[in-house]
Amino acid sequence: MTDLVEAPAAPVQWILCPACRSIHYAPRWRRSLGVCPDCEHHSRVDARTRILQLADEGSVETVDLPSGTVPDHLGFVDTMPYPERLARARSSTGLDAAVLVAVIRVEGSPVVAAVMDFNFMGGSLGSVAGEAITRAARKAIDHGLPLLVVPSSGGARMQEGAISLMQLAKTSAAWAELDEAGLLTISLITDPTYGGVAASFASLSDVIIGEKGARLGFAGRRVIEQTIRQRLPKNFQTVEFMQENGFVDIVAPRSGLREVIGRLLRTGGCPDPEAPAPRTTDDTPVIVTDAGRLPVHEAWRQVRRARDLSRPTTQDYLALAFDDFQELRGDRAFEDCRAMLAGLARLDGRPVAVIGQQKGHIPNELREHSFGMPSPAGYRKAGRVMRLAAKLGLPVVTLVDTPGAFPGEKAEQGGQASAIAETLRLMTSLPVPVVSVITGEGGSGGALGIAVANTVLMWEHAVYSVISPEGCASILWGDAAKSATAAAALGLTSRALLELGVVDGVLPEPGEGVGTDPLAAADRLRRALTQSLDGLALMSGEELVKHRRVRFHQFGSFQETQR
């Protein structure tokens, strides 16, 4: 390994922005990381510059890659023979291939980085580049480190024919090995990322970050328009467009990439020996497990309190009870559901995966988050983050607050029932601790869809029911005005559910309710979650799965009598 040093600055003093054509003083352009101060266009940067922008100062050690003569199997000639084109690329970039590999630190956390350089034959994926990326994966596995890949490519290298095509399978196999090793993988999509690179390792990472304005796709815009004879939207294939459609987790400007990657490495990467000590010092129990210690509340009043818009939302708890939360978006299939929030965070220093249903406090927030009613994409996103937690060995915390899964034509077309069923089955098999908290309204299968846990808790004034009181009243009494009667009959209060064993504990609410003192509520929630996870920490993965299955198997058990 050798230290990577920055290439000497070009003597040019002025730089023309390729997007808005404004002229900038070169030192200022470099200080802005190659982002135009006027139009915010993110210009392309070479692999060396990219690594130095991401890495902590003095932390870069390059990794030696295969060198030598690349076989010219095809004798390929376009405007020049392939060996001559390859030699020119090596001479102009100073690289042996379109990939530069280094071990770096980002905000103190180590990671293996494989960075592609578009200046090297359009970043095309040839055999040497494929080998470099595969060796980077092997380096990560050998040292137990996360892998960060930064693609910038037009796709597979035509001059190497089918050998180049085989690199898609070769690199994808390396990602499978990283999955089996339980190591975090991150793709930082830069402009452009197309073709075989997009259709292999770039799209396989656990977390996909898009640099603002970058393009990601299989076929290029011009090829698509010429093929289908149709004009495409202006933002087509931008990472912003791909995020809306569920394929990109995070979009960030170049200046924010280090912070985002550092946060992900702290929560999902290798343990940091210098991580701050847990905040919890008070181990006083905050969970009531004896129903007799809880006051009796009128059921319909509890329903109204559970729906009170002043209650803290999942987003509020993420900000107040957790540290370093990084949201992950999209189901990697169709869309991103804003009624379901999911991501990685730290809870009293412990890395966790957090999933929760989000409502809002005001009308605009409620509409943005579909009133807390997740679509099928929401449950698929939740499942994706649960599988990531299982891979990385992270506990799962879920916060339940929904009137129910979203009803409607689009939801049914998207397979709402199937999405919930798949999540239920997945949660019965997660080999990590799972703790769920009903924070407000626990409505039917939409709530249970993220509440199959080892430990299920709920706030004192929350509710949890097979159906809404209004729905029950309409079906059984034929009169929605009987909702209060239905609420009392459904046994949906915290005391009733604790008596039934549906929940394992109840959290008394501070003051007149969690909405009157969100800070105290968040602290109490944090302590309850920490105590619950501490109680599960000594169980093996197999024991956790068995514990969870036994917990739910008992519901409805009965003693048979002889005829």
Domains of the chain, residue spans: 1-43, 46-268, 291-551
Which tokens in the block code for residue 274? 């210098």
pLDDT of residue 11: 65
pLDDT for 227: 86
- pLDDT band for position 285 (cuts 50, 70, 90): confident
Cα angle 497, 499, 503 (rounded to 5 degrees) comes to: 45
Here the tokens at position 133 are: 């990326």
Asked if residues 181 and 141 have their Cβ atoms less than 8 Å apart, the reply is: yes
Burial (CB count <10 Å: 0-12, 13-18, 19+), residue 306? buried
pLDDT at 342 over 60: yes
Span 392-403, pLDDT tens digits = 999 999 999 999
Task: Give pTM, 2 decimals.
Answer: 0.92
Q: Which CATH architecture has domain 291-551?
A: Alpha-Beta Complex (3.90)
Q: How many Å apart are CA 412 and CA 391, to the nearest integer?
A: 30
Q: Give me the pLDDT at residue 401, please.
A: 96
Determine whether 29 is exposed, middle or buried from the number of CB atoms within 10 Å of its CB (0-12, 13-18, 19+).
Answer: buried
Helix axes 483-490, 299-306, angle to 10 degrees: 100
Can you tell me the distance from the alpha carbon of 290 to that of 14, in angstroms, rounded to the nearest whole number? Answer: 73
8 Å CB contact between 51 and 100: yes
- Under DSSP, the state recorded for 300 is H
Query: Is 215 in contact with 237 (CB distance < 8 Å)?
Result: yes
For residues 239 and 165, give the distance between their C-alpha atoms in angstroms, rounded to a whole number.
25
281: number of Cβ within 10 Å: 8
Q: Which fold has domain 46-268?
A: 2-enoyl-CoA Hydratase; Chain A, domain 1 (3.90.226)
What pLDDT, on a 0 to 100 scale, did the predictor assign at position 222? 84
Interval 44-72 mean pLDDT: 89
78-111 pLDDT, tens digit per residue, is 899 999 999 999 999 999 889 999 999 999 999 9
Strand partners, 356: 341, 399
Indicate if 291-551 has the same CATH topology as 46-268.
yes
- Work out the angle at residue 16's Cα, subtended by the Cα atoms of residues 13 and 18, and round it to the nearest 5 degrees: 150
